[in-house]
Structure 1
Amino acid sequence: MSGGTARPVEFRPVRRVCAGMTEKEATTYLRGRVDPARVLNPGDHGYAEAVRVWNGAVTARPALVVRSESVDDVRSALEAARVAGLPVSVKGGGHDWAGRSVRSGGLTVDLSGLRYVAVDRDAQVATMGGGTTAADLIDATTRHGLVTATGTSAAVSMAGLAMGGGYGPGTSAYGLALDNLLSAEVVLADGRVVTADEDNEPDLFWALRGGGGNFGVVTSLRMRLHQLDTALAGFLMFSPDDAASVWSGIEHLLADAPDGLSIDSGLVTGPDGSPAVLVSPTWIGDAAEGKELLAGLDGLGTVYTSRIGPAPWAGLIGFVDSIAPAGRHYAVRTRNVPGFTDDVMAVLAKAGASRTTPESTIALHCFRGAAARVAPDATAFTWRVPHFMVEVIGSWWPDDREPDRHRQWVERTTADLSAHAMPGGYVNLLGPDEGDRAADTFGPNTAHLQGVKRRYDPGHTFTGVPLPACD
């Protein structure tokens, strides 16, 4: 085994304390159980960094942050939160646009100290800590010619990504990130530590794959790896006047393509500052076959720029981080569309022309192939038919004096898409105010999820993404 060192887990019994503990008493209790320097209140050194998240518009300030470095730290934090009556949030990579990882007045379990990766090259399995990011995982696995399904951002935590889904350049070939999850170590609200996989706690394992962070704190996870040295990938930028022909061409190309082909797209600002249609293909397979498949992309419209060639997996992940860096202000909504109909393309064209800032984007993620062949009830992720997941991302600078106009652009665009969209949306992007869409998102899996919630978190310690209320 190589690629990192897994930290040994040392379990100590959590000392039961009396209910009604104050925040100050909770802090004192935790500093007796955890390194005092890692138990932070507002104003403490390191607190500002600990509560900083990707979306600079998030201003929530927890009462207490525990920078956990072990399973026992997490157990102690949950015990203190329970007896002090503090709402709990869990921070992995802090990349959730809604800022659910930091709740004002609550206790944040920060997993940034649980970042490690161990690679079993023979078994093609990676074991990682709950705070491990996509960048951490890629760095450890690609040196062995191994990869797994990651998202498009290098900063996202793998645990958070997999619990909600995990669209990315490998979706067609490898499935979603959650489809590659083999097991998870989970700290439950009552302090119990369980391992969830196909044979142990199978209901919890089912719910973790697509049900969001609603069931416990994932302190470590194991993921399946795949042999890959390089992919054929890159991007093209087209004139927005050719958007219809570009999207129609993408849909035609994907219709009968092998699983190795995935094509994401979007509306962005081009190198010269004008709007552009971005097309980002990824081919995993024989290089000659891939070149033949992608040869027709240049003919779909007026090409501003084209860069396609052999690329390491690390080169495919993180491009979005340069387009949408941490610290700017964001509003995000999501819809799934079954294809590029005339109506869908008209909405996208209108939205592209009416963007309120050059930094605002629309991203369309391809879902097909291996991901679409998983049974809808095999995991909590329900919608397993081919589609394009749409991210509408409003972005503006912190000193902008009219932020509402950017949020309104996001709301208008998603409202216009709703008439042509599938039920629900992408779990990892649903806003905290979109509980009414949760039942549509989980569809026929809703009742099963509610049952798992009642069993593993009856007190609703973990709120994660919206989940329909239990009866």
Structure 2
Amino acid sequence: MRLPTFLLRAGLLLQIGSGQVLGTDAHLLRHSQDHIDCPSGSRIQRELGPRLSGAASILAPSSPGWHQALVRATSPRINPAFVTSVEPATEQDVQETIKYSNHIGVPFLAVTGTHGWPTTLNDVQGGIQINMRRMNHIELNRDGKTATVGGGVMQHEIVRSLSEQGKMAVTGLCECVSVAGPLLGGGHSMLQGRRGFAADNLASARLVLANGSAVTVSAESSPDLFWAIRGAGHNFGIVTSLEVDVYDVEKTWTMIVLTFTQDKLEIYFSTWNRLEAEHTDVGLLVLNGIFARNPVLDSDHPLVNLQIFYEGENDVADKYTSAFFALGPVLNTTVKDIKYGDLYDVGGFGLTSPVCRKNENILGYPNSLDRWDPDAMRAGFDVFSDLTAPEKFATSAWLLESYGRKAVAAVPAAENAVAPEERSLHLLSSPILWWAGDDEQDRERAELYGKRMQEAVRRGNPALPHTYLNYAVGHEELPEVYGRDVARLAKLKRLKKMYDPNNRFGFYAPIR
């Protein structure tokens, strides 16, 4: 039930490139050339290899597949410099790799989906990449209420595995991201209106700490650390497995996609605001707006699109769709009876979708909001229109997300480290800028225009800015991503000092 043709017609993803991976890109060569003072890959293979299980592997710059192993969804802009890539198969492999890295004094970074985009990832220089993909087991536990998931599992794997057993878990949106990564930073989800964030659905985890020891964290075991990893988890260890809550798949889904020309922008956002003010309990109903170019329908401006997803029969969804249809879309399509296991692929977020392409930089300038300011969104839209007029940036998209509020708001702020602001500021405004190549002027242009978009939106929302941690760019101050409560920040800093005194996990939204 994939609908790439329709999504292209709707202007959501038109012209997005193939994401071809170039195995000998010049920006990757520096991984093996620029760090002559670091231990060589061959030395690490020789010394670390005997300490790993037979199913693990170590790649050096001379190994087949080396360049492919380093390509990220966000490269070349985000380009950590590695001398070796370790692919562990067991928890002990992860432990041994961390212990060895500590012994020889080099940094390490765990990766799975490689979609992280904070600039702080570039602080990894001459390090060891720990690619978790071999740890991709999924097991539905006997009680049918939880599943145990390996630290290297991708979203498409857990969605398909569980849905085949009539179950579903709270995960992110794109099939090409990991399960663990988004959860550690909170984890917005299609299911959050009824089930909360992904972090709210973690029952326990196995975690390898900075000293190489492995611990179980849960409400009963290391509760302070359990609190911290649910919202700030990238700072405290490498997750080798997770026990997550699962739920019965009960009904099929409907997707409605509407496309408007830019002259409807103000009433589009006013309608959205009105509907959300009138209906605070919408069940499993998700709004996903997108600014994107489609020159077939408008050669001068991006289009304003809206995807409405909902589960089963939903009276509130009918009110939403009627209100937006009344605005006069130039295109509309409805797809019914979508199985949950197919939902992300049908919605345009599947493994083969353009949003999962690699090696085309990706840069976001997000804001979390409680309502849309139509004038501010118009100002930001005009900047986006200017940036995307040239072909170089024409495949960029501006995401406008509302995943549901009720269950998220019902979780007490003290339950975990997810910022309280993330529970109250439920709208996500995220210009996602794509461009190919490593030209410095292109990067500077993207950053300049991205900041202008972000600032335009913030002028219409005078509250102190807040950014969803998993969308953070890397320049944010701690209160902007972890929340402004002084006591919570102090607790995070105290736990960081306790569990990672040498800041070995200091490359993703680092707590300093």
Q: TM-score, length-normalised on structure 1?
A: 0.88
Determine which of 51, 75, 88 is the counterpart of 1:33.
51
Unaligned runs of 5+ in 1: 1-19
Distance 1:437 1:168 in 2: 23
- In the alignment, does 2:375 pair up with 1:334? no
Distance 1:130 1:237 in 2: 38
> Displacement, 1:433?
3.1
Distance 2:268 2:337 in 1: 23
Match of 1:374 in 2: 411
Residue-by-residue CA offset, 1:96-143 (whole Å, 9 max, x unaligned): 124766733111111011111112374232211001011000010111
> Displacement, 1:424?
2.6
**1:282 alignment partner, SS class:** strand
Distance 1:120 1:243 in 2: 47
Determine which of 262, 268, 277 is the counterpart of 1:240.
262
> Displacement, 1:352?
3.7
Match of 1:51 in 2: 70
* Residue correspondence of structure 1 range 16-415 to structure 2 within 5 A: 22-23=39-40, 25-34=43-52, 35=54, 38-57=57-76, 58-98=78-118, 103-120=124-141, 122-228=143-249, 229-255=251-277, 256=279, 257-270=281-294, 272=296, 274=298, 275-287=302-314, 290-291=317-318, 293-318=320-345, 319-320=348-349, 322-324=353-355, 325-356=357-388, 357-366=393-402, 367-382=404-419, 383=421, 384-398=423-437, 402-403=441-442, 404-415=444-455
Residue-by-residue CA offset, 1:129-175 (whole Å, 9 max, x unaligned): 00101100001011122212222210111100100121132221221
Residue-by-residue CA offset, 1:196-234 (whole Å, 9 max, x unaligned): 111111111111111141100000001111222422234
Distance 1:194 1:139 in 2: 29
- In the alignment, does 2:467 pair up with 1:446? no
- In the alignment, does 2:467 pair up with 1:425? yes
Distance 1:106 1:273 in 2: 48
Residue-by-residue CA offset, 1:315-355 (whole Å, 9 max, x unaligned): 33252462432222222222112211234323333234223
User: Match for 1:63: what amino acid?
Assistant: V
User: Match for 1:409: what amino acid?
Assistant: Y
User: Match for 1:259: what amino acid?
Assistant: G
User: Match for 1:413: what amino acid?
Assistant: M
Structure 1 residues 379 and 315: alpha-carbon distance in aligned structure 2, compared to 1, 3 A threshold: same
Structure 1 residues 101 and 409: alpha-carbon distance in aligned structure 2, compared to 1, 3 A threshold: closer
Distance 2:295 2:340 in 1: 24
Q: Is the 8 A contact 1:331 1:395 kept in 2?
A: yes
**1:305 alignment partner, SS class:** strand
Q: Is the 8 A contact 1:39 1:64 kept in 2?
A: yes
User: Match for 2:399: what amino acid?
Assistant: A
Unaligned runs of 5+ in 2: 1-36
Relative contact order (C-alpha < 8 Å, sep 6+): which is higher?
Answer: 2
Match of 2:456 in 1: 416
Residue-by-residue CA offset, 1:389-444 (whole Å, 9 max, x unaligned): 1212111122778413223211211122233264331111212333x254564321
More divergent stretch after superposition (247-256 vs 299-308): 299-308
How many residue pairs align between the two structures?
449
Distance 2:371 2:294 in 1: 24
**1:63 alignment partner, SS class:** strand
Q: Is the 8 A contact 1:424 1:437 kept in 2?
A: no
Distance 1:105 1:143 in 2: 42
> Displacement, 1:36?
9.2
User: Match for 1:406: what amino acid?
Assistant: A
Match of 1:17 in 2: none
- In the alignment, does 2:506 pair up with 1:463? yes
User: Match for 1:77: what amino acid?
Assistant: T
User: Match for 1:454: what amino acid?
Assistant: K
Match of 1:8 in 2: none
User: Match for 1:385: what amino acid?
Assistant: S
User: Match for 1:267: what amino acid?
Assistant: F
Structure 1 residues 100 and 183: alpha-carbon distance in aligned structure 2, compared to 1, 3 A threshold: farther
Structure 1 residues 351 and 152: alpha-carbon distance in aligned structure 2, compared to 1, 3 A threshold: farther
Structure 1 residues 287 and 390: alpha-carbon distance in aligned structure 2, compared to 1, 3 A threshold: closer
More divergent stretch after superposition (26-35 vs 207-216): 26-35
Q: Is the 8 A contact 2:113 2:154 kept in 1?
A: yes
> Displacement, 1:365?
1.8
> Displacement, 1:361?
1.2
Residue-by-residue CA offset, 1:12-33 (whole Å, 9 max, x unaligned): xxxxxxxx99556543221111
Q: Is the 8 A contact 2:88 2:130 kept in 1?
A: yes
Compare the two structures and name the one with the higher helix fraction.
2
Match of 1:10 in 2: none
Structure 1 residues 258 and 433: alpha-carbon distance in aligned structure 2, compared to 1, 3 A threshold: closer
**1:329 alignment partner, SS class:** coil
Q: Is the 8 A contact 2:256 2:332 kept in 1?
A: no
Distance 1:401 1:261 in 2: 41
Match of 1:7 in 2: none
CA RMSD of aligned residues (A): 2.5
> Displacement, 1:289?
6.0
Residue-by-residue CA offset, 1:280-328 (whole Å, 9 max, x unaligned): 2222353566445533331133332333423222333252462432222
Q: Is the 8 A contact 1:116 1:136 kept in 2?
A: no
**1:346 alignment partner, SS class:** helix
Structure 1 residues 307 and 36: alpha-carbon distance in aligned structure 2, compared to 1, 3 A threshold: closer
> Displacement, 1:67?
0.5
**1:210 alignment partner, SS class:** helix
Structure 1 residues 329 and 260: alpha-carbon distance in aligned structure 2, compared to 1, 3 A threshold: same
Q: TM-score, length-normalised on structure 2?
A: 0.81
